[in-house]
Structure formats: C-alpha cells, structure tokens
Amino acid sequence: METTYIKTPLGIAAIIGDENGISGISVADEGEISNTIPAVLQQAVRQLNEYFEGKRTTFNFKLNPKGTEFQQKVWKGLLDIPFGKTCSYMDLSKKLGDVKAIRAVASANGKNPLWIVVPCHRVIGSDGSLTGYAGGLWRKKWLLEHENPSNQKSLF
C-alpha cells in the first residue's frame, strides 16, 4: 500500500492505494506534503488537482474501498449523485430500496473512505440543511459551492 500527501484548498489530502485501486482519500488541517508521488497514485493525484482547478467533474481511476456489503452498496449509490446536485439521506435510502434504512445509510455515508471521489458531501438533510460531515461542515459547504457556484452578479 502506497500513501502520498497533497495540498488542496481544504487541507492536506492523504491518498492511499496500490495496483488494485485507491482505497482511501482523507483530509486533515495540516501535515507534510509528499515530495514524490508513487506511480500507482499519480492518476488519482492528477484528477483530484483537476477537480480543485475546476477542470474535472468526474473521476475514472480505479477504486478499492474496504467496507461491508451494505457500505459498498451505499457508496455505489453515492457515485450516482451527479456533480453539482444533491440528494437527501431519505432520497438515497429510497433509491437503495429501503426507506427504513435511513440511519444505516447515514452511518455508511459517514464511513465513506474516499473523500470527494465518492461524493458523500452531496447528501444533505431533507430540509436542505447541511448535516453531518466527517471533514467538517465548512468543507462540505465549500465543496457544494465549488460544484455549483452562484452565477448571480452583484447589483452594486
């Protein structure tokens, strides 16, 4: 397993993976930036940088997250939420076939090991509120605004 650390507008991202795919992407407020990027992580690093530069809306590198069968199902469901769009935990539960599983869906969402790439930040409360986010609500707000910037110009 290889690890590299890159600077992003939201902190230092740790990218973990091997020839089987990327198994983890997380963010921290501080840390050492890597001087070299292992070959198996280069595509993920390039695509994440393109995302932050506003040049990418989807990712196509190989993913290999570790989780239960249910967590995998939820994470796969998250991949279907389009760039610039959001859905509620209730909507996601319905889509996955069990409206009563809303708490389990929320829990699996919170355990998502692939920050940004599996877009758990696109899941919001039924009332439109920004609910729980492992990386902090300020990061969730930033990501949603990055993906759907307001086009309104100042009137003054």
Domain spans in the chain, listed from the N-terminal domain onward = 2-52, 69-147
Indicate the CATH number for domain 2-52. Answer: 3.30.160
Q: What is the 3-state secondary structure (H, E, C) of the chain?
A: CEEEEEEECCEEEEEEEECCEEEEEEEECCCCCCCCCCHHHHHHHHHHHHHHCCCCCCCCCCECCCCCHHHHHHHHHHCCCCCCCCEEHHHHHHHCCCHHHHHHHHHHHHCCCECCCCCHHHEECCCCCCCCCCCCHHHHHHHHHHHCCCCCCCCC
- Among residues 49, 39, 59, the alpha carbon closest in space to that of 13 is found at 49
Q: What amino acid positions are annotated as catalytic residues? A: 120
Indicate the CATH number for domain 69-147. Answer: 1.10.10.10
> Do 2-52 and 69-147 share a fold?
no
Q: pLDDT 10s digit of each residue in the chain, 156 long? A: 999 999 999 999 999 999 999 999 999 999 999 999 999 999 999 999 999 999 999 999 999 999 999 999 999 999 999 999 999 999 999 999 998 999 999 999 999 999 999 999 999 988 888 887 878 899 999 999 999 876 555 555
